[in-house]
Structure 1
């Protein structure tokens, strides 16, 4: 694309996760090709984010509104998030800067208001929220109904829609029958240069990860739908004292499920007779430590600090499962440089960045034979795809990787790296995105003013109805 564009990203929360990694890498790719890029978000914590959004590489603008809480008495999370997103959309639409393209993802509700920015809107659908929300009980189904309709109406207002896999494309078609057009498949990419940088071995935070044991690594947010418990169950079934399972992932003190599920997983591991250890995120204060499983230790901050006591490597030798919430990027790089196997447990995951990261770092992957991993992980070549939710299948695959001779193991790693290098590099991804954007800009802006007004009115109606229902649900 010869034309240089002004592009704004609109993303709810720039924390640490696969969706956030996609946004950051997409922004980096476009910026390197000469486009001006700005990221708008409702929440950005410098202590819990990707480095490029913290060190000035990418421009981040945070729009918070004190008028809307994150929930009402622990309820109405989706309503509050939508109302917050409308405040963010107003900030973008009234910004003196003029944008050619708005890249919106995760939440479609603000799209009608973003139309006032007079920019073409590309909506990136990671997975329809309609298919992820709970609907157990008549009241909850009634509560969700206006939000489900709102998601479909506002998604249709985008000038172009893209999804991250063929699996998500089919799910999108089933979830939104009123949207006649089929979204474009634009599989995410990795910023390979970032993974080519070796970890900083002088980092004292790596002391808690150094061990002579063979590491099996699970990387996922501490959410129940990620089924990390399956990794613990499968590892326990191995009964291998020469291996250690590292359960690392996104953990936010502001997300109750993260706090609750980490405690649940730690208790599950101990219940299976596994010796556990939890390492607190760097910089955790007393309040954060109180939310972690009992006995959690601090991350070392000095070269001779073993983490709440000396001898970290010796203590890890006596650990079967290490929990590493909110790990640093350097810790991630180190884990992927020494891991013998990565286990990725979610079933019907719409894509999954972790298998791609692992394959590029030459680590064989064990994942569920469903969703995105079925499209990204070559079975028997770069890893193994297993029957979803099967402890025995996952355990057998992990055992097979750990038992592989070094040359066979290295061949799997090399095949995975070549697969990612060929098909998931940032340059190729950005070029595909530019072609989609060029085609979008060549068309008149989509959307009906009437439907846009209806969508905004529906938000107000949903707010009133949800507040009324909250007394009864």
Structure 2
């Protein structure tokens, strides 16, 4: 039986965490022993599967700081994951064949120090060095060794996977010294059974929304500025001028997303969005929901007319898949991962990130319920055919088998 350990920085609620949990569940279904090791785990702020003993979640090193006086978050993340890796290798006594790590590659050299670590798989959601700006000389100097370390340690992995063809291209352009590496694409999948189970459970946790608002536009994303949630608010403001009074009275927007009180940006941006809604005179047309449950998410998807996906150059994006599986059209920015998941004018619309462009597509869906139904059905079929759990499970399991077989061959 193959034993796989997952190393992840913070097992909260997000796309990266969803992939790690799904990957662990997938390998467990194929008979592998799995554990997840992380530097932070809050049972009150995680996916429901993480609370089950079968996944074996281990949290160490949470006493280490996340920032130094509000700065150096990348450095602290690296140090925290180095500690997790060192604890796993030298103190845990755990046996494993493959280590699956993601987001922070700096821990790979520590894993290489242990003879028990046979193979290391690194899953690159997106190069970390592209996720932060460098507005000052001080910031550029601070990031210089961190960026070098990211590139060097990523190259130490036995296998590198990425979440989309878009990310694969960015990987090759960013990590120029790793031209020998050709990362394979492993698309995230949906846990269909989990979505179906929550849907079948009913709407016991249905979020309260104003009565009579049956044309619900839904945005699901973390409350971070890079997610461009303000675009949804501005598009709603533009839509108001396109609709009759009767249609406008039926429209409502829900901004639902991951929210962590520990993260200053979450707190600040949530307040900024509320102020924007007030300044656009949309306060009575928008409902904000923070850190919703899985059942609330499914309920919102079922009640929505359309899902708005506002980030530009998103690495992949699991929300469009969840929307399409729920038979809901998606309006997304025409860049990044959605170009590989959403089919323009078939399962939704791929558009420039402008309020007028989004509002025009929203108007079409408001006025044409048949179009909503047609796109929703096409989206469901696309997810079932291309992003199934079975396809994800089999592809990942084959990668794991290939790594363990390579090790056995080398030993012989």
TM-score, normalised to structure 2's length?
0.93
- 8 Å contact from structure 2 (residues 203, 296) kept in 1: no
Q: Aligned partners of 1:272 and 1:87: how far apart in 2? A: 47
Q: Aligned partners of 1:207 and 1:194: how far apart in 2? A: 19
Partner of residue 23 from structure 1, selected from 20, 27, 36: 20
> How far apart are 1:199 and its partner, in Å?
5.3
RCO higher in 1 or 2 (8 Å CA, sep ≥ 6)? 1
- 8 Å contact from structure 2 (residues 219, 255) kept in 1: yes
Structure 1 residues 24 and 271, CA gap change in structure 2 (3 angstroms):
same
- 8 Å contact from structure 2 (residues 40, 62) kept in 1: no
- 8 Å contact from structure 1 (residues 341, 402) kept in 2: no
Q: Secondary structure at the match of 2:105?
A: coil
Structure 2 counterparts to residues 65-464 of structure 1, below 5 A: 65-66=62-63, 68-94=64-90, 95-115=92-112, 116=114, 117-179=116-178, 180-197=180-197, 198=199, 200-201=201-202, 203=204, 205-209=205-209, 211-213=211-213, 214-239=215-240, 240-275=248-283, 319-387=284-352, 389-405=353-369, 407-444=370-407
Deviations 1:42-101 (A, max 9, x none): 1111111000001334210111253x3111111111111111111100122122121011
Q: Secondary structure at the match of 1:208?
A: coil
Give the paired residue count: 395
Q: Aligned partners of 2:62 and 2:278: how far apart in 1? A: 42
Structure 1 residues 132 and 176, CA gap change in structure 2 (3 angstroms):
same
Q: Aligned partners of 1:57 and 1:338: how far apart in 2? A: 33
Q: Aligned partners of 1:366 and 1:113: how far apart in 2? A: 43
- 8 Å contact from structure 1 (residues 7, 37) kept in 2: yes
Q: Aligned partners of 1:190 and 1:57: how far apart in 2? A: 20
Q: Aligned partners of 1:334 and 1:244: how far apart in 2? A: 15
- 8 Å contact from structure 1 (residues 65, 87) kept in 2: no
TM-score, normalised to structure 1's length?
0.81
Structure 2, unmatched stretches of 5+, are 241-247
Q: Secondary structure at the match of 2:267?
A: helix
Structure 1 residues 172 and 363, CA gap change in structure 2 (3 angstroms):
same
Q: Secondary structure at the match of 1:245?
A: strand
Partner of residue 42 from structure 2, selected from 40, 45, 64: 45
Q: Aligned partners of 1:354 and 1:177: how far apart in 2? A: 31
- 8 Å contact from structure 1 (residues 199, 333) kept in 2: no
- 8 Å contact from structure 2 (residues 37, 60) kept in 1: yes
Cα RMSD over matched residues?
Answer: 1.4
Q: Aligned partners of 2:315 and 2:194: how far apart in 1? A: 24
Q: Aligned partners of 2:253 and 2:287: how far apart in 1? A: 6
- 8 Å contact from structure 2 (residues 4, 100) kept in 1: yes
> How far apart are 1:439 and its partner, in Å?
2.3
Structure 1 residues 166 and 76, CA gap change in structure 2 (3 angstroms):
same
Q: Aligned partners of 2:141 and 2:200: how far apart in 1? A: 50
Off by >6 Å, runs of 4+ in structure 1: none
